[in-house]
């Protein structure tokens, strides 16, 4: 089995049922799952006895005959009704969306596997792009999300993952992937010291059908991000950085010079500072840029710096370019009057100004 695929076996009521479920799972998750179709209970018992981590999907009528989980193998019952347990065995309705079935598989994998054998690599081979700002209200999230969508369209079928770690994130307003899991599930996993946080990230991710962008939907409560400690944020960033599933990761992060956010910014291949060019914003950018330079010269841990200064909501009347000699600038967009959020996002996504940034991220310049 190819490294990076999660092992899943299926024992359904009929061969036709197993083939149908297998076809649906592979249609959406062929690059994440390695499926085995089992013919009988004896085959299921043999598969459960193998050492490699995996999940057995078995029709509820045969759960008793197959037996419970063994070692790094988990059992997930397939039912006709909406229920979460069959006796002591976790269950999922076979008529749920494929996203729900996949999420149930990955949640079980995260629980039973001692380590993510064959699912993660020591080093992320993709590129990480971080967006941040020292001034609120300049549209950092809009720009980061627009760039992530552009990147996902440009590099499809390579996977692009977007993570908004700003307080009170609202990414759900602009993306429409299917699934029930969200940032809250990741927060709960890290707070419960789940050893396989990376698998929980995979299970919780949704894919926007319009742009092909993968993302975490906003948490079910507005305090989820704020309740994360520095250590817990660091664990999430590390779990994401070691995933091999995504060719590109786009982060929307608060500005920071210390702590987990600073470490994430320092680990990025490209850091984009978003500003609107107004006097207050420019003053803060200059001071932040100088502070980062001083920290780097003093050998501070997790020292980092801006790669680009990107102007958004730029006004010809009240904004001006800083033109710092060591900081390349991108003139992205002015102010969009009379447009809704979705239209603004589409306008930003199509900006030619993203060209140099796309080229550097792709490694072509």
CA 337 to chain centre: 32
Quick one: 127-362 is in which CATH superfamily?
P-loop containing nucleotide triphosphate hydrolases (3.40.50.300)
CATH 3.40.50.300 domain extents, the chain: 127-362
| pLDDT score of 120 | 40
pLDDT digits (tens, 9 = 90+) for 26-68: 988 887 889 999 999 999 999 998 878 899 999 999 999 998 8
**Separation CA 115–CA 51 (nearest Å):** 13
Is residue 103 predicted with pLDDT exceeding 90? no
Is residue 223 predicted with pLDDT exceeding 90? no
Is residue 122 predicted with pLDDT exceeding 50? no
Cβ count within 10 A of residue 208? 20
Beta bridge partners of 76: 57
Structure tokens at 73: 């193998």
pLDDT digits (tens, 9 = 90+) for 147-182: 999 999 988 888 899 999 887 767 888 898 887 788
Is residue 4 predicted with pLDDT exceeding 80? no
State residue 124 phi and psi, 5-degree precision.
Answer: -75, 130
% pLDDT > 70, the chain: 94
Cβ count within 10 A of residue 353? 15
Tell me the average pLDDT of the chain: 87
Report the half-sphere exposure of 284 (CA within 13 A, side-chain side).
16
Q: Spell out the alpha helix ranges (H) of the chain.
A: 15-29, 41-48, 63-66, 98-112, 140-155, 183-191, 197-204, 230-241, 259-267, 279-297, 341-349, 354-362
195: confidence class by pLDDT, cuts 50, 70, 90:
low
Is residue 10 predicted with pLDDT exceeding 70? yes
**Separation CA 311–CA 199 (nearest Å):** 37
Among the residue ranges 77-91, 97-111, 137-151, the one predicted with the least confidence is 97-111
**Separation CA 24–CA 22 (nearest Å):** 6
In residues, how long is the chain? 365
6-112: CATH architecture: 3-Layer(aba) Sandwich (3.40)
User: Is residue 249 within a helix (H) or strand (E), and if so which, with residue range?
Assistant: strand 248-252
State the pTM of this model. Answer: 0.77
Is the separation of the CB atoms in 181 and 103 below 8 Å? Answer: yes
Q: What is the average per-residue pLDDT within 74-90?
A: 93
pLDDT digits (tens, 9 = 90+) for 297-306: 998 877 899 9
Is residue 94 predicted with pLDDT exceeding 60? yes
CATH 3.40.50.10850 domain extents, the chain: 6-112
| pLDDT score of 240 | 85
125: confidence class by pLDDT, cuts 50, 70, 90:
low
């Amino acid at each position: 089995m190819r490294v990076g695929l999660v092992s899943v076996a299926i024992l359904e009521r009929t061969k036709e049922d197993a083939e149908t479920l297998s076809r649906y799972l592979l249609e959406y998750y062929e690059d994440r799952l390695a499926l085995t179709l089992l013919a009988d209970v004896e085959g299921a018992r043999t598969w459960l006895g193998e050492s490699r981590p995996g999940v057995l999907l078995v029709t509820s009528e045969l759960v008793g005959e197959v037996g419970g989980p063994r070692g790094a193998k988990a059992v997930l019952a397939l039912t006709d009704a909406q229920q979460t347990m069959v006796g002591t065995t976790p269950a999922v309705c076979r008529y749920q969306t494929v996203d729900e079935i996949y999420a149930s598989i990955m949640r079980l994998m995260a629980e039973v596997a001692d380590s993510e054998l064959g699912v993660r690599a020591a080093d992320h081979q993709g590129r990480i792009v971080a967006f941040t700002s020292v001034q609120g209200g300049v549209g950092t999230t809009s720009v980061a999300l627009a760039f992530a969508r552009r990147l996902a369209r440009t590099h499809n079928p390579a996977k692009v993952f977007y993570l908004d770690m700003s307080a009170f994130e609202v990414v759900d307003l602009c993306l429409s992937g299917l699934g029930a899991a969200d940032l809250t599930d990741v927060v709960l996993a890290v707070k419960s010291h789940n050893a396989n946080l990376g698998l929980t990230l995979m299970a919780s991710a949704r894919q926007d059908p319009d742009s092909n962008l993968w993302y975490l939907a906003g948490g079910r409560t507005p305090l989820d991000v704020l309740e994360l400690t520095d250590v817990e944020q660091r664990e999430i960033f590390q779990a994401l950085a070691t995933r091999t599933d995504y060719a590109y990761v786009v982060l929307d992060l608060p500005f920071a010079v210390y702590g987990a956010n600073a470490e994430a910014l320092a680990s990025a291949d490209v850091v984009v500072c978003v500003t609107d060019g107004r006097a207050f914003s420019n003053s803060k950018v200059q001071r932040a840029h100088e502070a980062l330079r001083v920290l780097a010269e003093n050998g501070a841990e997790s020292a980092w710096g801006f790669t680009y200064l990107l102007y958004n909501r730029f006004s010809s009347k009240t904004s001006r370019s800083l033109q710092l000699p060591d900081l390349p600038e991108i003139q992205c967009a002015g102010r969009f009057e009379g447009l809704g959020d979705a239209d603004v996002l589409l306008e930003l996504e199509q900006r030619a100004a993203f060209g140099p940034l796309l080229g550097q991220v792709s490694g072509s310049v």
